[in-house]
Structure 1
Amino acid sequence: MRQRLCSKVGCAREAVSTLTYDYPDQMAALGPLGAGGDPHAHDLCAIHTDRLSMPRGWVVVRHETIAQR
């Protein structure tokens, strides 16, 4: 099986979570790796998962099933 990498430009670390956005509701969801192939989903490594920030007014829903590092 092919390793999935972080979607951040210049990052070559293994992805551990998937980020999706709901622009109309100004909400982002961060959870375990999704099935893949969704052009609107972004895979993130552990470092970028921990550093995630959103614009003021946005809500981030974090699913606690993300693997512990």
Structure 2
Amino acid sequence: MTERFCVKPTCRNYADFTLSYDYDSRVMVIGPLSPELAAGGYDLCEVHASRMKAPSEWTLIRNPGSA
């Protein structure tokens, strides 16, 4: 697997987690880094994954092993 970087602008950290969205259910999910780049997935480092907050009326789910 190739090392991937956090998608946040100017962040040079390696990605540890993948953030995905379910727009219909208004749910955000942060889980372990997906093995491959996923369509609609956003790779985040530990720092940015731990700072992620859901917008109003959305739910953020952090799977075990996520920040």
Give the structure-1-normalised TM-score: 0.86
SS at 2:2 equivalent: coil
Give the structure-2-normalised TM-score: 0.88
Q: Name the stretch that deviates more: 35-44 or 12-21.
A: 35-44
Q: Partner residue of 2:65?
A: 65
Structure 2 unmatched ranges of 5 or more: none
Percent identity, aligned pairs only?
34
Check 1:33–1:25 CA distance in 2 against 1; reply closer, same or farther (3 A cut).
same
Q: Tell me how far apart the structure 2 counterparts of residues 4 and 37 of structure 1 sit (CA, whole Å).
A: 9
SS at 2:19 equivalent: strand
Q: Tell me how far apart the structure 1 counterparts of residues 24 and 2 of structure 2 sit (CA, whole Å).
A: 34
Task: Let me know the Cα RMSD of the aligned residues.
Answer: 1.5
Q: Which amino acid aligns with 1:24?
A: D
Structure 1 unmatched ranges of 5 or more: none
* Greater than 4 Å deviation, 4+ residue runs: none
Q: Partner residue of 1:18?
A: 18
1:5 equivalenced with 2:5 (yes/no):
yes
Aligned residues: 67
User: Deviation at 1:50?
Assistant: 0.9
Q: Which amino acid aligns with 1:13?
A: N
